[in-house]
Amino acid sequence: MKITWNWLGEYVDLTGLTPEQVAEDLTSAGIPVEKMASMNLGVEGVVVGLIESVTPHPQADRLRVCHIDTGTKKLQIVTGATNVQAGQKVPVALVGAKLPEKHIELANFRGLSSEGMLCSASELGLDDKFLPKDQAEGIWIFPEDAPLGENVVEYLGLNDVVMELELTPNRSDCLSFRGVAYEVAALYSREVHMPDVDTSGVATVSDKPLSVRIDTALCTGYSGQVVTHLELGPSPMWMQMRLLAVGMRPINNLVDITNYVMFEWGQPLHAFDYDAIDNWEIVVRQAKDREVLRTLDSQDRELTSDVIVISDHMKGLGLAGVMGGENSEVRVTTTTVVIESAMFDPITTRRTSRLLQLRSEAALRFEKGLDPDAVLPALHRASMLMVQYAGGELVGAPVITGKALISPGAKQQILVRVVRVAEVLGYALAIEELEGFCRQLGLQTAREGAALSVTVPARRPDLLREEDMIEEFARLAGFDRIPSTNLEGVLSHGGLSKSQKLRRMARDYMRNQGFDEVWTYSFVDAAGHRKLNIADDHELARPMMLLNPLSEDRESLRTTMLLPLLDVARYNANRQWDALFVFEIGTVFLPDAKVVKKGVSAPVEKKMLAGVAYGSVAKEPLYAGRNFDFFDMKGIVEGLFGRLGIANLINFERAVYPYLHSGRSAEILAGEKPIGKLGQLRKEVAKAYDLPSEVLYFEVEIDAMVELASPHLYVAELPRFPQVERDLAVVVNRNLPVADLFGTVKEAAGSLLESVTVFDVYTGDHVGQEEKSVALRLVFRAPNRTLTENEVQLAVDQVLLQLHSNYGAILRK
Partner 1 sequence: MREQLLALQEQALVDLAEAEGNALDAWRVQYLGKKGALSLALRSMSKLSAEERPIVGQVANAVRETLEAAFASKFAEWEGKQAAKQEEKETIDITLPGRTRSVGAEHPLQKIIRRIEDIFIGFGFTVEEGPEVEWDYYNFEALNLPKDHPARDMQDTFYLSEELLMRTHTSPVQARTLEKRRPEWPIRIIVPGRVYRRDDDDATHSHAFTQVEGLVVGKGVRMSDLKGILLTFAKELFGENQEIRLRPSFFPFTEPSAEMDIRCIYCGGDGCSTCKHTGWIEVLGCGMVHPRVLEMGGYDPEEVTGFAFGMGVERIAMLLYKIEDIRQFYQNDLRLLKQFASLPE
Q: Are 277 and 338 in contact (CB under 8 A)?
A: yes
DSSP string covering 621-686, please? GGG---B--HHHHHHHHHHHHHHHT-GGGEEEEE---TTEEEEEEEEEEETTEEEEEEEEEPHHHH
Interface region with partner 1, contact rule CB under 8 A, candidates 67-75, 105-113, 164-172, 665-673: 164-172
Give the span between the Cα atoms of 270 and 257, in whole angstroms: 10
- Minimum separation from the CB atom of position 491 to partner 1 (A): 6
Nearest residue (CB) to partner 1, 465 versus 766 = 465
Does residue 487 touch partner 1 according to CB under 8 A? yes
Site for partner 1 in 402-441 (CB under 8 A): 423-427
Judged by CB under 8 A, the residue of 217, 332, 406, 490 near partner 1 is 490
In this chain, which stretch among 344-352, 656-664, 732-740, 804-812 interacts with partner 1, using CB under 8 A? Answer: 344-352
Does the footprint of partner 1 cover residue 217 (CB under 8 A)? no
| 169 touches partner 1 by CB under 8 A | yes
Closest approach of Cβ 526 to partner 1, in Å? Answer: 13
Conformation bin of residue 56: beta by default, left when phi > 0, alpha when psi is -120 to 50: beta
Other CB atoms within 10 Å distance of the CB of residue 196? 11
Report how far residue 317's alpha carbon sits from residue 304's, in angstroms, rounded to the nearest whole number: 15
CB of 702 to partner 1, least distance (A): 12
Residue number, 71 or 478, with CB nearest to partner 1: 478
Strands (E), 26-173: 33-38, 44-57, 60-69, 74-79, 89-99, 102-103, 107-109, 112-114, 117-118, 161-165
Residue 367 in the binding site for partner 1 (CB under 8 A)? yes
Contact residue for partner 1 among 203, 332, 406, 550 (CB under 8 A): 550
Choose between 487 and 716: whose C-beta lies nearer to partner 1. 487
CB 164 within 8 Å of CB 35: yes
Tell me 131's DSSP state. S
CB of 2 to partner 1, least distance (A): 19
User: Is residue 643 exposed (0-12), middle (13-18) or buried (19+ Cβ within 10 Å)?
Assistant: middle
Closest by CA position to 165, among listed 75, 33, 263: 33
Nearest to 23 by CA among 214, 162, 211: 162
Tell me if 594 contacts partner 1 by CB under 8 A.
no
Contact map string, positions 287 to 326, toward partner 1, x by CB under 8 A: ----------------------------------------
Is residue 549 a contact residue for partner 1 (CB under 8 A)? Answer: yes
- What region, left, alpha or beta, does residue 459 occupy, with left being phi > 0 and alpha being psi -120 to 50 degrees? alpha
What's at 286, amino acid-wise?
Q
Strand order, beta sheet including 724-733: 753-762, 771-780, 724-733, 810-811
Quick one: 430 or 482, whose CB is closer to partner 1? 482
Contact call for residue 600 and partner 1 (CB under 8 A): yes
Task: Report, in Å, the least distance between residue 612 CB and partner 1.
Answer: 11
* 107 and 34 Cβ atoms separated by less than 8 Å: no
Name which position in 6, 27, 304, 455 contacts partner 1 (CB under 8 A).
27
Q: Which stretch binds partner 1 (CB under 8 A): 44-52, 104-112, 387-395, 619-627?
A: 619-627
Query: Which is nearer to partner 1, 69 or 468 (by Cβ)?
Result: 468
Q: Which one among 280, 571, 652, 762 touches partner 1, defined by CB under 8 A?
A: 571
Question: Do 303 and 293 touch, CB atoms closer than 8 A?
Answer: yes
Pick the closest to residue 266 from 347, 185, 381, 158 (CA basis). 381
Minimum distance, C-beta of residue 186 to partner 1, in the bound complex (Å):
13
Exposed / middle / buried, residue 9 (Cβ in 10 Å: 0-12, 13-18, 19+):
middle
* Stretch 50-109 residues interacting with partner 1 (CB under 8 A): none
Q: For residues 443-472, which are near partner 1 according to CB under 8 A? A: 465, 467-468, 470-471
Nearer to partner 1, 106 or 424 (CB): 424
| Sign of CA pseudo-dihedral 199, 200, 201, 204 | positive
Rounded to a whole number of angstroms, the minimum distance from the CB of residue 25 to partner 1 is 12
Q: Which is nearer to partner 1, 184 or 724 (CB)?
A: 184
- 517 makes contact with partner 1 (CB under 8 A): yes
